[in-house]
Amino acid sequence: MFLRLLITCLLTGSALAGNIFDSWKAGDAEKLYYDLNTLKPSKTTNTLEIEFARAKEKDSGFIVSQILKIPAQTITITSTEKYTDNDLNLISSENLIRLPAAAKDRFGTDSLVIKAVREKDSVAVTSNSATLVPPCKLPLNGGLITSTGSLLATRLIDFKPGATRTYRYVNLLILTGQIYSAIEITDSVMGEVEITVPAGTFDCYKVKNTSERGTGFSYYDKGGNHIPVRTELIDQMSGEPVMEVILKKIER
């Protein structure tokens, strides 16, 4: 279940168009609190906190900090990523996964550190366990979005009805013992809908997210910085949600 959670977690995409660079001033920060619920075979609630900040120094870029807690399995994941100021290209990503104590006997460590650093036209990935995360290089090929950074990139969505975009996505929190590879996700803007979550009621844009690993729907606030309000991962056989990410609170 843990691996399935990390593989599917935050299937949130972006259709890059528009501009947040004028509206998001240097030094501004925003913190979002979510419940991340697995719904099948039974409901399990995890918590997700993400802070987005633009560096105070001009042209120094954006910083995304994330904390994901999975209480049922005693797992905590903290991530920090840096992005360029003018085009949101990944500069670096550092992820610490604190596993249950039993993992030390099986894998030799209960604290896994995964790092990714941009090197010209690729991203080099390393970790403190080559068994769980073999080192590799991912070609940029015009861009690459991670699970942590995806919620920043959504701020640049083009929400025109019928608009689509295909992009490359990698989840650096997968623990399969295999080298990482990027997948393609296509976002399709479907229309507008009202969504109610613990953080309130929002007029949202509805976006369909499609990849080889499944289909989901994401809902973005029409106002302000287009905050991601809700994300659903859909079971292709039943058509029912199997995972959801729901906004609880906003801090600025």
CA distance 62 to 22: 13
CA distance 244 to 10: 9
Q: Is the confidence at residue 231, as pLDDT, over 90? A: yes
pLDDT digits 0-9 by tens, 49-62: 999 999 887 667 89
* pLDDT above 90: percentage of residues in the chain: 50
Confidence of residue 80 (pLDDT cuts 50, 70, 90): very high
pLDDT score for 214 = 85
Strand partners, 51: 31, 65
The chain-wide mean pLDDT, for the chain, equals: 86
pLDDT score for 15 = 36
pLDDT score for 107 = 84
Residues with Cβ within 8 Å of residue 102, at least 6 apart in sequence: none
Backbone φ, ψ for residue 210 (5° rounding): -125, 130
Q: Pairing relation of β-strands 164-170 and 145-146?
A: parallel
pLDDT digits 0-9 by tens, 149-185: 887 776 677 788 998 888 888 999 888 889 999 988 8
Domain covering 2-251 in this structure, CATH number = 2.40.360
Confidence of residue 221 (pLDDT cuts 50, 70, 90): very high
Q: Which has the closest alpha carbon to 142: 111, 167, 162? A: 167
pLDDT score for 19 = 59
pLDDT score for 88 = 79
Q: Is the confidence at residue 17, as pLDDT, over 60? A: no
pLDDT score for 7 = 38
**How far from the centroid of its chain's Cα atoms is residue 130's Cα?**
24
pLDDT score for 191 = 94
Tell me if 56 sits within 8 A of 27, measured CB to CB. Answer: yes
- Return the C-alpha torsion angle 197, 163, 211, 131, nearest 10: -80
Lowest mean pLDDT among 7-21, 27-41, 98-112, 146-160: 7-21
pTM for this structure? 0.87
pLDDT digits 0-9 by tens, 121-151: 899 999 999 989 999 999 988 778 888 888 7
Q: Is the confidence at residue 236, as pLDDT, over 60? A: yes
Confidence of residue 5 (pLDDT cuts 50, 70, 90): very low
pLDDT score for 81 = 94
3-state DSSP of the chain: CHHHHHHHCCCCCCCECCCCCCCCCCCCEEEEEEEEEECCCCCEEEEEEEEEEECCCCCCCEEEEEEEEEHHHCEEEEEEEEECCCCCCEEEEEEEEECCCCHHHHHCCCEEEEEEEEECCEEEEEECCCCCCCCEEEECCCCCEECCCHHHHHHHECCCCCCEEEEEEECCCCCCCCCCCCEEEEEEEEEEEEEEECCEEEEEEEEEEEECCEEEEEEEECCCCCCEEEEEEECCCCCCEEEEEEEEEEEC
pLDDT score for 58 = 67
pLDDT score for 150 = 82
Confidence of residue 42 (pLDDT cuts 50, 70, 90): confident
Q: Which has the closest alpha carbon to 66: 54, 90, 49? A: 49
pLDDT score for 179 = 94
Q: Which amino acid appears at position 194 of this protein? A: E
